[in-house]
């Protein structure tokens, strides 16, 4: 009498069990970590930034902030210090309906300075922040 072999033939091809486990782990990790990326509270969208630069006569009051390479801060074409800006910006935004702040900087300005201005504007009550690549001169 012959003995039957109890070994089953191995399947040919890839074994996907471990790949499915890895893929599922990555999906769960991304789902958990995505809210952390959006906790900053500063959102900038390109279309609204383009509209922010187009100022119509008689429209809402805006805060236009320009930062030079030398570290000078211009608020609506008037030079102010950072401390003075922290006092003037909330007053200016209280009079504004849209509470929009447009920030532009010369080439070579450190991101730290721009981020300090954006943070100050958000703390002062700005509802809409816009970053411009170049300064708009009227």
Residue 18 belongs to some domain of the structure: no
Examine the pLDDT at 84 and tell me if it is beyond 80. yes
Report the number of distinct structural domains present in the chain.
Answer: 1
Report pLDDT digits (tens) over 106-118.
888 888 888 888 8
- Expressed as residue numbers, the domain containing 70 is 46-132
3-state DSSP call for residue 72?
coil
Q: Pick the most confident of 5-9, 59-63, 82-86.
A: 82-86
- Which is nearest to 117 in space by CA: 77, 81, 78? 81
End-to-end Cα, the chain, rounded Å: 102
pLDDT value at residue 24: 92
- The β-bridge relationship of strands 128-132 and 100-105 is parallel
Residue 20 belongs to some domain of the structure: no
Residue 63 belongs to some domain of the structure: yes
Report pLDDT digits (tens) over 11-63.
666 677 778 888 999 999 998 888 777 665 666 555 554 555 554 444 467 78
Q: What is the pTM of this model?
A: 0.54
Examine the pLDDT at 86 and tell me if it is beyond 70. yes
Residue 50 belongs to some domain of the structure: yes
Contacts (Cβ under 8 Å, ≥6 apart) of 87 = none
DSSP string, 24-67: HHHHHHHHHHHHHHT-S-----HHHHHHHH-PPTT----EEEEE
């Amino acid at each position: 009498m012959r003995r039957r072999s109890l070994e089953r033939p191995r399947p040919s091809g890839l074994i996907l069990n471990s790949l499915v486990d890895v893929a599922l782990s990555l999906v769960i990790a991304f789902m958990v970590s995505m809210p952390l990326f959006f906790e900053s509270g500063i959102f900038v969208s390109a279309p609204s930034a383009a509209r922010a630069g187009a100022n119509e006569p008689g429209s809402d009051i805006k805060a236009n902030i320009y930062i030079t390479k030398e570290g000078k801060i211009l608020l609506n074409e008037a030079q102010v210090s950072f401390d003075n800006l922290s006092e003037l910006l909330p007053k200016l935004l209280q009079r504004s309906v849209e509470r929009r702040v447009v920030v532009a900087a010369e080439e070579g300005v450190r991101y730290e300075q721009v981020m300090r201005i954006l943070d100050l504007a958000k703390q002062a009550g700005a509802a809409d922040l816009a970053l411009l690549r170049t300064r708009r001169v009227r």
